[in-house]
Amino acid sequence: MKPQRITVLGSTGSVGVSTLDVISRHPGRFEVFALSASTKVDELLAQCLRFAPRFAVMASAPHARLLADKLRGTGLRTEVLQGPDAIEAIASHEECDAVMAAIVGAAGLGPCLAAARAGKRLLLANKEALVVGGELFMRTVREGGATLLPIDSEHSAIFQSLPEDVATWPRRIDKIILTASGGPFRTHAPETLAAVTPEQACAHPNWVMGRKISVDSATMMNKALEVIEARHLFGVTPQQIEVVIHPQSVVHSMVQFTDASVIAQLGTPDMRVPIAVGLAWPERIESGAASLDFRQLAALTFDAPDARLFPGLDLAWQALRAAPGTTAVLNAANEVAVDAFLHHRLRFDRIHAVNVETLEAVLPSNPASLADLLALDASARAAANAAALRFAA
């Protein structure tokens, strides 16, 4: 069998590293076609030396020059490219079979659209492609004939719990139940959140993730984004999506069907599991993750989210009820607010305030193209930066 040629966008991030780990376990089944990174030159260099991709892309010209210099003399034939156009090119290249979309933030939307237009097997770990792109992204997937496979653990769990016949989903699904760990502060008093530091917010109790998504988990804005993502992925209404706190992170999400039965996907909290599902679906391959030992499991608990601790969660349903494009505004505001918090310019408990103020300040006008979405994203970021300054720590 000819190996699948995989492009990994965001290969030096946690999902990218996990993807390469799974790929390395199946050398006859997969080969790395291209890799991309933002600024981590040495990490990408090490990946190139191990996997010998045809292309390696850095986000900026200086980083690309540095990588090219370091690769010179290694004997590798890896071609170094730079910039957004190059990232889109490796995502849509005719010799690429599948794309792992693991670039964090709205910057990943363009490459995701390029891969979708080219009809690739698209492994989606970038929430923002759906949160920002919404209907445009899903329409591009359909028109391009792409195969879309969710990689977020929650959406992969839902996907695995549903029948393969997509046409039957509307009449079978009663509701989707997204589980959330609750992050590091789920048992804290709301008034203590003002003193939270970036280091505390990034110390997730169950998952090893990047800093931005770790903060989103602590505020549960990641779950708000996942609600929006689930609405588009599975064609349900916002009212058919529910969130429950499940601190053990063993049940990754559930589907309740119209007959009141519930199907859930369980597993250890290891991103290599949904990655392996996406790479091999509909087959199953070894992921490297540990198996569950049910004899060692503590009680599995489920609770309603506390709105005082997680006020941002409800913004998902508010944004979905609002004008098209509102979810893109929410995403941009949150990216700006989290960045300000991580750089000690904004208190943790004021992230929500920046998001709310930006939603009130920016009125979207039904964006119909990538250019429209990028313009809306820029406007929202400007408004969010102004709000962050007003709420500055």
* Cβ(240)–Cβ(176) below 8 Å: yes
Question: 88 among the known binding-site residues?
Answer: no
Cβ-proximal residues to 357 (8 Å cutoff; 6+ apart), any chain: 383, 384, 387, 390, 391
Question: 92 among the known binding-site residues?
Answer: no
Q: What's the rounded Cα separation, in Å, for the pair 29 and 115?
A: 21
Q: What's the rounded Cα separation, in Å, for the pair 221 and 214?
A: 10
Question: 127 among the known binding-site residues?
Answer: yes
Q: What's the rounded Cα separation, in Å, for the pair 89 and 159?
A: 28
**How far are the Cα atoms of 80, 188, 198, 257 from residue 185, in angstroms, in the given order?**
42, 5, 13, 32
Question: 154 among the known binding-site residues?
Answer: yes
Beta bridge partner(s), residue 175: 256
* Cβ(113)–Cβ(138) below 8 Å: no
Question: 365 among the known binding-site residues?
Answer: no
Question: 161 among the known binding-site residues?
Answer: no
Question: 14 among the known binding-site residues?
Answer: yes
Question: 41 among the known binding-site residues?
Answer: no
Question: 128 among the known binding-site residues?
Answer: yes
Give the position of tokens 């946690």: 14
Q: CA angle, 250 as apex, 246 and 256 as ends, to 5°?
A: 70
Q: What's the rounded Cα separation, in Å, for the pair 114 and 127?
A: 16
Question: Burial of 238 by CB count in 10 Å (0-12 exposed, 13-18 middle, 19+ buried)?
Answer: middle
Question: 15 among the known binding-site residues?
Answer: yes
Helix, strand, coil share of the chain (percent; to 5): 50, 15, 35
Question: 377 among the known binding-site residues?
Answer: no
SS3 per-residue string spanning 10-24: CCCCHHHHHHHHHHH
Query: Is the peptide bond between 198 and the residue preceding it cis, with omega within 30 degrees of 0?
Result: no
Question: 99 among the known binding-site residues?
Answer: no
Cβ-proximal residues to 259 (8 Å cutoff; 6+ apart), any chain: none
Q: What's the rounded Cα separation, in Å, for the pair 344 and 80?
A: 35
Bridging pattern class, strands 251-257 and 241-245: unpaired
Question: 222 among the known binding-site residues?
Answer: yes
Which residues are annotated binding-site positions for 1-deoxy-D-xylulose 5-phosphate?
127, 153-154, 181, 204, 217, 222-223, 226
Which residues are annotated binding-site positions?
12-15, 126-128, 152-154, 181, 204, 210, 217, 222-223, 226
Which residues are annotated binding-site positions for NADPH?
12-15, 126, 128, 210
Which residues are annotated binding-site positions for Mn(2+)?
152, 154, 226
